[in-house]
Structure 1
Amino acid sequence: MRRLLRLLIVLALVGLAAFWYVTRPDPLPAGALAGIVGDTQRGELVFWAGGCASCHAAADAKGEDQLKLGGGQKITSPFGTFLTPNISPDPQHGIGRWSLADFGNAMLRGLRPDGAHLYPAFPYTSYNKMTLQDVADLKAYLDTLPAVATPSQPHQLRFPFTIRRLVGGWNFLFESRDWAVTGDLTPQESRGRYLAEAVAHCGQCHTPRNALGALESDRWFAGAPNPNGKGTIPNITPAHLKWSQADLVAYFTTGLTPEYDSAGGHMAYVVENLSKLPESDRGAIAAYLKKVPPQP
């Protein structure tokens, strides 16, 4: 009985050590962003491509109010409700005191400055494919925006999802830094893939998820239930979306479909963001969508 007890203790300690190792934070290498200088003009384009205002400004914000990133929007999920944080340059309630390395670790590794895991409701699992220069450009632009003195609100999650360390295990199982669409792509299609899969994180809404909230990459862009419980987010693979590239570019520019319908819901904000990009970028996303494998 004593031997069995000792064996169980050893197994428990080994299991605990394995759990602690697997769930550990994995920050960027020291100095990864050293010497990289952000450009605010390029950062503004990254800002709109990434849809930052759509989540971090007030839900009904228009015009200049879209640049006040005090957070507070609610994101419903099977695990509870996430509340978007303040990412304005406010030094107390926002990210005004964050270094570029802090920001890079949040965007590319899903980590807070204190090393704790961010929840993947923040789409670092898409942003992790962004270039270091784009991350620096975005930080430079965010630093120019108005400071908002609104405290970030805590998430409303059920136990055990309140334990952030578990996110490290989720990352171990599901986080990928690989592209969903592979193969030979033209420079235009590659640019579109970068924008759609990384910066604009389109797959976060248009791809189904498994029971633990991870994207089912083998069903990329096949459509998914709307997290708010109202309707579905459509399949945008060539099996369902028959629009031409010109139709797609027009939709990303004006929000009007070939059937003279208009974008609604959250997609209206996406179109508003994409319309601020160069037409070449909208064309690149359209070209990429034509290369996505068809999904029923």
Structure 2
Amino acid sequence: MRRFAIIIGLLGAISLPAGLWLTAPTRISEDVFAALTGDAIAGETVFHAAGCAACHAAPGAEGEARLILSGGQRFVTDFGTFLAPNVSPHPTAGIGAWTMQDFANATQRGVSPDGAHYYPVFPYAAYTLADPQDIADLWAYWQSLPPSDAASASHDLGFPFAIRRGLGLWKALYMPNAFSPAIEGDSEVLRGQYLVQALGHCAECHTPRDALGGLDRDRWLAGAPNPSGKGTIPALTPDRMTWSAQEIAAYLTDGFTPDYDSTGGSMVEVIANTAQLAETDRAAIAAYLKALPSPKSAQP
């Protein structure tokens, strides 16, 4: 028994440092953003494309109130309930004391200024593919938004999901380093790919997930269960989405389907964002969706 206890102790002593190393947060090199200057006008486009207000505005906010990123929205998942924090430029209640480097590490690595992992309900696994200049522009625009002193509420999570350190392993499994699935196309299609994957993070809702919450890229945009538990999120692949590119672009402008039905649910927020984009960007999103390959398996 004593020998067994010693062996267990040695394995623990070896595995603990290895586990800490594997789950440690990784940050972006400061050289990446050191020479960049943000453009607030360009950052406004990034803000709408990335859907920031859809999650961080107060519940029910409309019009200009959507620019007050006071948080408070609840996101119920199989892992627990997440509450969007205040990310307004308020110096204490929000993120007004952050640097651009802090902002980049949060949005593209899911790491807080004090080195804690953020939960991937914050779609940094998509934003990690964004161009650094877009992140710098977004940060410049962020400074122009109104501050809010609303306090951020804590997430409601049970064991083991309340242990943030374990998210380092999740990131090792699921953080992409390139666009996938691979797709070929002209500049319009590639612009659409960037808007859908890196900024719009459409796959977060429209792609099925595995047991650990990672996206099933073999069924990219093939539809998924609704996170609220009611119904499904529709597929966007050409075999299921039969609208023309022009009809998709029009829908992203006014929220009306080709048969004149109006959008509802969470898509109301999405349309509020895409309606702010340039017409060429909405056309690019449509071109990308029409260029998608069919998924390897059907919608669940």
In the alignment, what sits opposite 2:82? 82
In the alignment, what sits opposite 2:266? 266
In the alignment, what sits opposite 1:170? 170
In the alignment, what sits opposite 2:153? 153
2:74 is equivalent to residue 70 of structure 1: no
Q: Which amino acid aligns with 1:11?
A: L
Q: Which amino acid aligns with 2:98?
A: W
Report the more deviating stretch, 249-258 or 197-206: 249-258
Percent identical among aligned pairs is: 49
- Structure-2 separation of matches of 1:253 and 1:78: 32
- Structure-2 separation of matches of 1:85 and 1:58: 10
2:114 is equivalent to residue 118 of structure 1: no
Conserved 8 A contact 2:125-2:174 = no
In the alignment, what sits opposite 2:100? 100
- Structure-1 separation of matches of 2:129 and 2:30: 18
Deviations 1:229-278 (A, max 9, x none): 11111011111001111111111111111111111111111112101110
Q: CA RMSD in A?
A: 1.1
- Structure-2 separation of matches of 1:218 and 1:292: 12
Shift of 1:2: 4.2
- Structure-1 separation of matches of 2:273 and 2:162: 32
In the alignment, what sits opposite 2:253? 253
Deviations 1:90-136 (A, max 9, x none): 00110100000000000110000001000000000000000110001
Shift of 1:31: 2.7
Q: Which amino acid aligns with 1:70?
A: S
Q: Which amino acid aligns with 2:247?
A: D
SS in 2 for 1:31: helix
Q: How does 1:38-53 map to 2 (within 5 A)?
A: 38-53=38-53
Q: Which amino acid aligns with 1:186?
A: D
TM-score, normalised with respect to structure 1: 0.97
Q: How does 1:24-39 map to 2 (within 5 A)?
A: 24-39=24-39
- Structure-1 separation of matches of 2:221 and 2:152: 32
Shift of 1:50: 0.8
Q: Which amino acid aligns with 2:74?
A: K
In the alignment, what sits opposite 2:134? 134
- Structure-2 separation of matches of 1:22 and 1:56: 31
TM-score, normalised with respect to structure 2: 0.96
Q: Which amino acid aligns with 2:59?
A: A
Deviations 1:211-241 (A, max 9, x none): 1111111110011111111111101111100
2:251 is equivalent to residue 236 of structure 1: no
Shift of 1:176: 1.6
Shift of 1:191: 0.5
Aligned length: 296
Q: Which amino acid aligns with 2:8?
A: L
SS in 1 for 2:189: helix
Conserved 8 A contact 2:73-2:84 = yes
Conserved 8 A contact 1:125-1:177 = no
Conserved 8 A contact 1:23-1:168 = yes
- Structure-1 separation of matches of 2:148 and 2:262: 33
SS in 2 for 1:197: helix
SS in 2 for 1:101: helix
In the alignment, what sits opposite 1:60? 60
Q: Which amino acid aligns with 2:140?
A: A
Summarize the Cα distance change of 1:24–1:152 in structure 2 as closer, same or farther, 3 Å threshold: same
- Structure-2 separation of matches of 1:272 and 1:177: 29
- Structure-2 separation of matches of 1:38 and 1:268: 29
- Structure-1 separation of matches of 2:30 and 2:279: 37
Q: Which amino acid aligns with 1:7?
A: I
Conserved 8 A contact 1:57-1:71 = yes
Q: Structure 2: where are the runs of 5+ without partners?
A: none
